[in-house]
């Protein structure tokens, strides 16, 4: 019991001095802001989330305002943040909150975890950070701290169960909010994925990772990324580009250029659509990185002089000077930015 008390107490003492207390969702805090921030923070760093969160709240300052938004409007604000299924889940959840809960986010844990995109850890974060309810969280930061502190080397299934059991014992009854926030802050600021600053950690005295002189951090985290080739077909008519609303796994529900993972199929598509073009040329290829792989994008620019109606349902001609408010992925934004410069 003494070890559990020391762990929690050391964490809370560290938080009072070093913890983050002025993040945008902590100012004039409410359950709506905490929900949006927690969804954005899934698999994304705080410094990346902050500008997107500010923009999102400015556009949709309340639950009622968000409930009136279309999926395209939400994806437009989300564009560039990645993991777009999170934005789709926000759209699905807000419809449920509107119809089933009269514009109120449930305070009940078991109702909360039934909402799209809200699992056990996110539900715990929403309730503890908003109301100081006694619920633990187990995000990537917390997992990393516990795995290192106890030097766990288990299978993924057993590890998950072990970590939930351990964090449920460690969380204090009366300071759940500060404890959870302090663990997230410690993971972000000190117990980092790469190059942790162990000497500044309040847990270092009993941390098995820190006291194990044989650990090799670099070997644990160097991974060679897979590179996949893909081809974008940029059909341009004056100031307009043809974009398709996609249902592929990558950037689902977003608008982007016709995309192919085979060069031959890309040119077959051009031929099949009988495009009358002035010019066709390859643009400079570039890399776009995901968490587990990278795309090497080969843009092929086709300048057409007759705006042939090749649109299907929900496909559009995108005006780069008067852009429509739709969701587009980062590499498409990058191409448009370059086009505007030229």
Question: What residues act catalytically?
Answer: 38
- CA–CA distance, 323 with 332 (Å, rounded to integer): 13
Rounded to whole angstroms, the Cα distance separating 161 from 64 reads 38
Reference 306, options 283, 273, 334; nearest CA is 273
**β-pair type (293-304, 286-289):** antiparallel
Q: 14: which 2 tokens?
A: 């560290």
By C-alpha distance, which of 130, 127, 132, 85 is closest to 110?
A: 127
DSSP conformational letter for 228: E
Distance CA 337, CA 342 (A): 9
Strand partners, 230: 297
Cβ–Cβ < 8 Å for 7, 203: yes
Structure tokens at 104: 């109120």
Q: Is the dihedral of CA 50, 52, 55, 59 positive or negative?
A: negative
Cβ–Cβ under 8 Å, residues 126 and 35: yes
- CB-based burial, 196-233: b 16+ in 10 Å, e otherwise: bebeebbbbeebebbeeeeeeeeeeeeeeeeeeebbbb
What are the CA-CA distances from residue 151 to residues 137, 199, 209 (Å)? 19, 17, 6
């Amino acid at each position: 019991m003494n070890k559990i008390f020391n762990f929690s107490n050391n964490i809370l003492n560290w938080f009072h001095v070093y913890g983050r207390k002025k993040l945008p969702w902590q100012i004039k805090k409410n359950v709506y802001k905490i929900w949006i921030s927690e969804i954005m923070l899934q698999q994304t760093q705080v410094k990346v989330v902050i500008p997107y969160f500010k923009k999102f709240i400015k556009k949709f300052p309340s639950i009622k305002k968000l409930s009136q938004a279309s999926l395209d409007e939400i994806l437009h604000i989300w564009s560039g943040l990645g993991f777009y299924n999170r934005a789709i889940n926000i759209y699905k959840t807000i419809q449920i909150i509107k119809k089933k809960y009269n514009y109120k986010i449930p305070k009940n844990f078991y109702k909360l975890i039934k909402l799209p995109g809200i699992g056990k850890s996110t539900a715990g974060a929403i309730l503890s950070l908003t109301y100081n309810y006694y619920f633990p969280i187990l995000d990537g930061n917390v997992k990393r701290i516990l795995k290192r502190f106890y030097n766990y080397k288990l299978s993924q299934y057993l590890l998950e169960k072990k970590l939930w059991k351990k964090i449920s014992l460690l969380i204090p009854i009366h300071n759940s909010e500060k404890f959870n926030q302090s663990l997230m802050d410690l993971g972000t600021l000190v117990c980092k994925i790469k190059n942790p600053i162990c000497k500044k950690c309040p847990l270092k005295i009993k941390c098995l990772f820190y006291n194990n002189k044989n650990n090799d951090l670099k070997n644990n985290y160097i991974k060679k990324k897979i590179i996949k080739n893909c081809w974008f077909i940029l059909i341009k008519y004056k100031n307009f580009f043809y974009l398709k609303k996609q249902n592929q796994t990558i950037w689902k529900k977003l608008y982007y250029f016709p995309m192919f993972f085979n060069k031959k199929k890309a040119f077959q598509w051009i031929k099949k659509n009988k495009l009358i073009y002035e010019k066709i040329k390859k643009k400079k290829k570039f890399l776009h990185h995901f968490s587990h792989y990278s795309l090497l994008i080969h843009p092929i620019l086709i300048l057409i002089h007759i705006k042939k109606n090749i649109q299907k349902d929900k496909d559009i001609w995108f005006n780069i000077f008067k852009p429509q408010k739709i969701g587009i992925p980062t590499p498409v934004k990058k191409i448009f930015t370059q086009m505007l410069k030229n």
